[in-house]
Amino acid sequence: MKTKIAKLIAAQVPDLTESDIEGLMEIPPKPELGDFAFPCFRLAKTMRKAPQVIASEVAAAIGDVDFLSEIKVEGAYLNFFVKKDTFVEGLVKEMLADDYGSSKEGEGKTICIDYSSPNVAKNFHVGHLRTTIIGNSLYKIHEKLGYHVERINHIGDWGTQFGKLIVAYKNWGSEEAVKKEGVAELMRLYVKFHDEAEKDPSLNDEARSWFARMEQGDEEALSIWQWFKDISLEEFMKTYKLLGIEFDHFTGESFYRNMTDDVIKRISDAGLLTESDGAKIVDLSAYDMAPCLIVKNDGSSIYATRDLAAIFYRKENYNFTKCLYVTGQEQKLHFAQVFKVIELLGNEWAPEALVHIPYGLVSLSGEKLSTRSGNIIYAEDILLEAISKIKEIIEEKNPDLPNKDEVARQVGVGAVLFNDLYNQRIKDVSFKWDKLLNFAGETGPYVQYTHARCASILRGLEGFTPSEDIDYSVLTTPAAVDLLKEISRFPKVVSDAAERYEPFVVARFAVDVAQAFNKFYDADRINVEDESVRNARATLVHITRKTINDAMALLGIECPDQM
Ligand code: ARG
């Protein structure tokens, strides 16, 4: 509609293009002022007339139009009143499409998203939960826009810490304990190593030599490491399963271990490698940054070297237009250094294409959480706790619900995800169970409940199928128009969320649609005698249900039909 009106104006105003005009058009604050407004101030200079005069002349020149009921001139503004049923018809037809909200903006482009990436032999903690949730949502959003996405889990599975673990395992560990306790035992061994190394520093040399053996491909060292890795991945998978999250690649740091020599050579050939206290670095003082460490003074490779190798590998194999890294803010400098080194190696695409996407902390202040030993908070425990709390609510309020366990998982996980994604990602996330599990607040369960309500209305209408062939004048009531206007933001919401790398834009939209629906539901009765009224309203319920479902899917949240 906006585009159609812009076209009408453009035909009368030679100085501005259609898209300039669309950019200048406004949605009036009050419905009495029309559906769209165009301010004529900008034209005064070039047309050498008062803006009020221009407004009247343009209105007269446009004349009668089939889809407009009126063009009113208010001062310097042209106010357009769209014929409500034509307007509504246009919106509904667009919204009924299966792929409503998606676009082709990403066609032919590949985005790599590096997210989740927990560390082997450490627990999957709440910080990793955030990168997992945000990264997964960014994947869904980009996919909706037609991008090809490579989902990469850059597992922390290489580094000197594995030398320490092997030493600790050999001295103080046992196969049974690791088999029985899993990651918790590996963490215990790691702490034990540090305690013991304080008393006996020679253990550090031993650890270094075990890691050196790993880097040289020593069979014994690698088989212990592989075992630790398998055990850790098995635990991480449980969390991914609860979340319903998958990856295309589990290419962790170790995947790049044989590519680091090539990186070092490239840096050295470019004349960028300098020695510093026996280590090899890239000096970045010209860019106000600490140097990027490439090789440690004991000759071992490090995190940054493997990230450099990963960028070359991904560029070559996936030919990305962008590579996004979702990690906590504390890695800001690390990525700035790594991206700078890539740029200095002559890759002009680096500043545009490589993007660090930081996020804030998780605070559990005051909230009790049943944690495992050692007060360590596992992401899995948070999810399980949310699920069990929702299960209790279901048992109390709707004990006959079919599929209770699956619904509890969808709603419990949905509550945690929604709470995480409802604000700008850089803001800290707090866990207040009362708040995030509330069915009436701005929460996941509220939106899911609204979705289930739509589904239940539709179930109650026997023989109804959504259709374009409805009486559109039924949907011109204020509540229906408000709901349609809310839903009509979906395509823009998805592209804004991608442009800003901010899933919260979608989360807010989901709440806005749910609220507008609940108002519509109160104002306009759906299951009425008159079939044409019933069918038109039910079609809007169908659209609402589908849009909420699709928006929530972009956050990684499933919407059950009954809850
Ligand atoms: N394993 C790291 C951590 O837990 C995150 C890795 C992020 N990705 C990367 N390419 N550096 O902090």
CATH of the domain at 474: 1.10.730.10
pLDDT in tens, 531-544: 999 999 999 999 99
Same domain? 160 vs 236: yes
Of all protein residues, the one whose alpha carbon is nearest to atom 8 of ligand 1 is 154
Of 49, 109, 122, 519, the active-site residue reads 122
The answer to whether the CB of 266 is under 6 A from ligand 1 is no
Domain boundary among 335, 368, 401: 368
Share of the chain residues as helix, strand and coil, in percent rounded to the nearest 5: 60, 10, 30
How close is the Cα of 335 to the center of ligand 1, in Å? 10
**Amino acid 248: pLDDT:** 98
What pLDDT shows up at residue 364?
78
Q: Residues 68, 190: one domain?
A: no
Q: Are residues 391 and 480 in the same domain?
A: yes
Sequence-ordered list of residues with C-beta below 8 angstroms from that of 397, at least 6 positions apart, any chain:
none
The pLDDT value recorded for residue 485 is 92
Within-domain flag for 377: no
Closest atom of ligand 1 relative to the 331 alpha carbon: 12
Domain end point (choices 368, 398, 420)? 368
Strand partners of residue 280: 275, 295
**Among 126, 134, 133, 135, CA closest to 431:** 126
Q: What is the pLDDT of residue 366?
A: 66
Contact 71, 59 (CB under 8 A): yes
Q: What is the pLDDT of residue 45?
A: 87
Q: Do 158 and 19 belong to one domain?
A: no
User: Residue 195 C-alpha to ligand 1 middle, in angstroms?
Assistant: 26
Q: Which of 128, 334, 451, 546 is catalytic?
A: 128
Ligand 1 pocket residue status of 318, Cβ below 6 Å: no
Quick one: pLDDT at residue 244? 96
Same domain, 354 and 324: yes
Helix axis angle, 478-487 relative to 84-95, nearest 10°?
Answer: 40
Is 108 inside any structural domain? Answer: no
- Same domain (yes/no): 506, 433: yes
Enter the tokens of residue 482.
């408000």
Asked which of 368, 394, 421 is the last residue of a domain, the reply is 368
Q: Return d(Cα 502, Cα 422) in angstroms, integer.
A: 10
Domain shared by 262 and 405, yes or no: no
- Are 7 and 47 in a shared domain? yes
Closest atom of ligand 1 to CA, residue 307? 10
The atom of ligand 1 lying closest to the CA of 156 is: 1
pLDDT at 1: 86
Active-site annotation holder among 2, 72, 125, 249:
125
Question: For the chain (length 563 residues), average pLDDT per consecutive 10?
Answer: 94 91 92 92 90 95 94 95 92 97 97 98 93 98 98 97 97 97 95 96 96 95 98 97 97 97 97 96 98 93 96 98 97 98 98 97 73 73 95 96 97 98 95 91 97 97 94 96 96 98 98 98 96 97 98 98 96
* Residue 247 resides in a domain: yes
**What is the predicted pLDDT for the residue at 313?**
98
Check whether residue 346 and residue 471 sit in a common domain. no
Assigned domain for 91 exists: no
Would residue 102 count as lying in a domain? no
Q: What is the pLDDT of residues 270-279, one digit of tens each?
A: 999 999 999 9
Task: Give the domain CATH number at 238.
Answer: 3.40.50.620
CATH of the domain at 68: 3.30.1360.70
Residue nearest ligand 1's atom 6 by CA: 117
Note whether 353 and 499 are same-domain residues: no
Alpha helices in 173-248 (DSSP H): 175-181, 183-199, 202-215, 219-243
Provide the number of structural domains found in the chain: 3
**Are residues 64 and 159 located together in one domain of the fold?**
no
31 inside domain: yes
Same domain? For 26 and 55 the reply is: yes
How far is the centre of ligand 1, averaged over its atoms, from the C-alpha of 329 (Å)?
A: 12
Inter-CA distances, 120 with 209, 217, 311, 409, Å: 20, 19, 21, 26
125 is catalytic: yes
Cα–Cα distances (Å) from 528 to 41, 461, 533, 534, 536, in that order, read 48, 10, 7, 6, 11
User: For residue 87, is it within any domain?
Assistant: no
- 222 within domain boundaries: yes
Concatenating the DSSP letter of every residue in 100-142 gives TT--STTTT-EEEEE----BTTS--BHHHHHHHHHHHHHHHHH
Task: Indicate whether residue 307 lines ligand 1 (CB < 6 A).
Answer: yes
Q: What is the pLDDT of residue 21?
A: 95
> Does the beta carbon of 154 lie inside 6 Å of ligand 1?
yes
Domain that holds residue 527: 386-553
Q: Which residue has the tokens 């000096």?
A: 283
